[in-house]
Amino acid sequence: MHERDRIYVRGEWVASEGEGRFEVIDAATEEVLGHVPAGAPPDAERAVEAAAAAFPLWAATSVEDRASYLRRIGEALAERRNEIGDLVSREVGMPQKLARPIQGGMPAETFLYYARLIEELPLEEEHGTSLVVKEPVGVVAAITPWNYPLHQIAGKVAPALAAGCTVVLKPSEVAPLSAFVLADVIDGLGLPPGVFNLVSGDGPTVGEALVTHPKVDMVSFTGSTRAGRRVSALAAETIKRVTVELGGKSASVVLDDAELPKAVKASVNDCYLNGGQTCSAWTRLLVPKALEEEAARLAKEAAERFTVGDPSEPKTRLGPMVSATQRDRVRAYIRQGLEEGAELVTGGPDAPEGLGKGFFVKPTVFAKVRPEMTIAREEIFGPVLCILGYEDEEDAIRLANDSPYGLAGAVWSGDDARAERVARRIRAGQVDVNGGAFNPRAPFGGYKQSGNGREFGPWGLEEYFEIKSIQR
């Protein structure tokens, strides 16, 4: 049992002002995995005051010293990557064999990367008679999601600390335990008090208290588009800098000269990563109308190779959803797809056979999906692939862009130049061409209602700087 009864403020583990606590549930067994404090607005107040008090000294700390702290955090997380991966696997449902390198390994690499980058990045530039300097934006409220909990935390905390900002972190109450591991690591390394603070709680209480606090200079939020609208509106009252990474309904566009089996298999794999609980997942598969039946057949074969079960079992390729709420939400979307006339190729809304306990959903594929259908327009956040047919290349591009979202996507063609040409016309922040590998140093973020700002790579660091011009 992972019992956490304190929050981390001003370099100490202290009691929360909140009276309750949140249960953390094992997604595969539905058993209680642990507890964390249900923080209250006074906790947010204490944490922000601590961060504000610590900011002047941390902002003046040398780049070399900040990099040294980040490097030590990354090294300590790397030593615990399997422990972290296994913990997140139980919280979120990602199969353990994937959770160890992704959920456990990538956060460590992010801290190590920003330790290197901050030492290389010029912070002053001469422009004529002006000296242009980059300065830390100030106190950052980092509000993070449950699907890639420590990975998303690292994508905010590491560059913020590197830039010289101080941080108050509010992790998702659904999967908060890896955030406490990070706080343990930071506490053990002796980061100056108040530079990093952790307050567990939900959005309407702790989250909104942070977003509206006058001493918070920037909010970095990852979550649903609905919540992102609320965060943006509240932060606007005090003209805070806001970066938001929100939902997606990404299209994998298979052109008529592509290798169809390869493209379909890769698209199913991407759609089902982390049980489909990935904001950038390719959940719409766009194929020429003449190839719809063949694509459906290939998608069915690929989907039915996903063994559903306990994420700790080596053979498992698809674990449970994070919660009963999420499971029920995904199943409701599947039922709505059936009601609206989509063709069920495989899967469905019923529980997978033999898995009555746990938040499991069948790997599902729909064909003959029309663009106006709910399942083609709304983010399902589960293992549900929608196949849509198109007339020609122009129609494919139109359908790919026919979405309120613009987070990610893919293009497949036998001609790399053609694929890249189409990729440039897709209004999304990240587009893979012919299975291009994920690059954790590339900028990540979206167009339209998928958000504002970028994370990761040098672009993720630049978000945490103010720019000052000194005229001489």
Supply 338's token pair. 């059936």
Distances (CA, A) of 259 to 255, 285, 301: 9, 14, 16
Residue in 368, 309, 307 with CA at minimum distance from that of residue 340? 368
DSSP state of 449: T
**C-alpha span between 14 and 317 (Å, rounded):** 40
Look up tokens 């299975």; give the residue. Answer: 435
Supply 437's token pair. 């590998």
State yes or no: is 279 an active-site residue: yes
**DSSP-assigned beta bridge partners for residue 343:** 367
State yes or no: is 294 an active-site residue: no
Q: Residue 322, by phi and psi: left (phi above 0), alpha (psi -120 to 50) or beta? A: alpha
Distances (CA, A) of 179 to 4, 87, 171: 11, 11, 7
Q: Residue 313, by phi and psi: left (phi above 0), alpha (psi -120 to 50) or beta? A: beta
Are the CB atoms for 451 and 243 separated by under 8 Å?
yes
**C-alpha span between 297 and 171 (Å, rounded):** 41
**C-alpha span between 293 and 420 (Å, rounded):** 26
In terms of Cβ atoms closer than 10 Å to its own Cβ (0-12, 13-18, 19+), residue 452 is: middle
Residue in 163, 143, 149, 166 with CA at minimum distance from that of residue 220? 143
Radius of gyration of the chain (CA): 22
DSSP state of 126: E
**Longest Cα separation, the chain:** 74
Catalytic hit among 165, 271, 279, 386: 279
Give the strands of the sheet with 282-288, arranged side by side. Answer: 343-346, 364-367, 384-390, 282-288, 250-254, 408-412, 430-433
Catalytic hit among 49, 91, 208, 245: 245
Judged by DSSP in three states, 291 sits in: helix
Task: Tally the residues of the chain.
Answer: 472
The catalytic site residues sit at: 245, 279
